Structure 1
Amino acid sequence: MNREQMIASVKSQMPERRWLHTEGVMKTAVLLAERYGEDPHKAELAAILHDVAKYWQIAKMEQIIREQKLNGTLLLYDKELWHSEVGAWVAEQEYGVTDIQVLDAIRYHTSGRIGMTKLDKIVCLADYIEPGRDFPGVESIRELSGQSLEQALIAGFDSTISFLVAKGKRIFPLTVDARNDLIEQQKTGG
């Protein structure tokens, strides 16, 4: 499947406004990849596919998570997280993506993880700061993204965690772990 076919297929699975978001993530991911020395083609591929399962029925995502023995812990948390894990599976099974870095960047774009790769960081951050995003603090995260992937991601995770706390929602432990790991990397220079 070539790039244009993939784009057409992904676009057909979501509302127009979500496709506009995906285009923003694609452009932002490529810019961040070029700025921070990552492969822009991998960044764009992960960005194209990052929300491929976002608008699938909840029951279908749950079935895939259970039947394919994906990360079942997700089922205990907000359904907004499920599309990342299912999206990585779809990218591999239906779109033929075999690059584990690309699949992981899709898988962890909503939660982060301990030991995030540069590609993970780029796709996660691009999802936060693409030009269509408009939430309190997004401009400062965009500014930080020009200086440090890690500092910008920490600010993004802080924003997400604060939002979830304010809404009385549970926080997926991997997000807290990812944030803490990034802070530790900043301390140790790693």
Structure 2
Amino acid sequence: MRYTRNELLDIVSAQMPARRWTHVEGVIETSVRLAHRYGADPIKADLAALLHDLAKFWPVERQEAVVREQGLNPELLDYDKQLLHAEVAAFVAEQEYGIDDPEVLDAVRYHTSGRVGMTLLDKIVCLADYIEPGRNFPGVEHIRELAEHNLEQALLAGFDSTISFLIEKGKIIFPLTLLARNDLVRQLDREGK
């Protein structure tokens, strides 16, 4: 890592409005709390949460250019532009900030879409992004309650909420999110939960 945590705080917070930085702080706090609760590395959770939205407020054209020019997942270009920032953030974290931990980079990369075979850290950062204290949407309290007892059930409820919202709005759904949701259902079925 080329930067200290404090330097990264300054670098990342400078790239977004104050209200989004408040969100990032909430995701950091929630990720660390969930890491302690579920046995993940809280230092990795802190770092992934800190970096997860670093490209969120870049112009869409800049995000698309990074995806194209750096050979990142081209499928993202065909879906909601909100998906781009996660892939771009992981790339920038590695290339510009020297983050070399693949687990941290994947947690950043998949915090919006999820994926099949999500790691514990992936699940924690993704869920923390849904339920951080500043989030206020129908059903968030239920997801927060689930998060106290079962990480996978809470994340499944989060994916279900997102998918329902997208269907209600007539939007297309990124296939990886559906696959991630189905994978969680299978995992919970195997565990009898």
Match of 2:164 in 1: 162
Question: What CA distance in whole angstroms lies between the structure 2 residues aligned with 1:79 and 1:120?
Answer: 21
State whether structure 2 residue 37 is matched by structure 1 residue 35.
yes
Supply the distance in 1 between the matched residues of 2:97 and 2:28 (Cα, whole angstroms): 17
Alpha-carbon distance between aligned partners in 2 of 1:173 and 1:159, rounded to the nearest angstrom: 16
Percent identity between the aligned chains?
65
TM-score by length of 2: 0.97
- From 141, 144, 166, the equivalent of 1:142 is 144
Q: Deviations over 1:51-108 (max 9, x none)?
A: 0000001111111101111000000000000000000001101111000000000000
- Equivalence map 1:1-190=2 (5 Å): 1-189=3-191
- Aligned partners of 1:91 and 1:185: how far apart in 2? 30
Query: Where do 4+ consecutive residues of structure 1 move more than 3 Å?
Result: none
Output one character per residue of 1:103-145: Cα deviation in whole Å (capped at 9) or x when no partner: 0000000000000000000000000000000000000000000
Unaligned ranges ≥5, structure 2: none
**Structure 1: runs of 5 or more not aligned:** none
Q: Aligned pairs, how many? A: 190
For normalisation by structure 1, the TM-score amounts to: 0.99
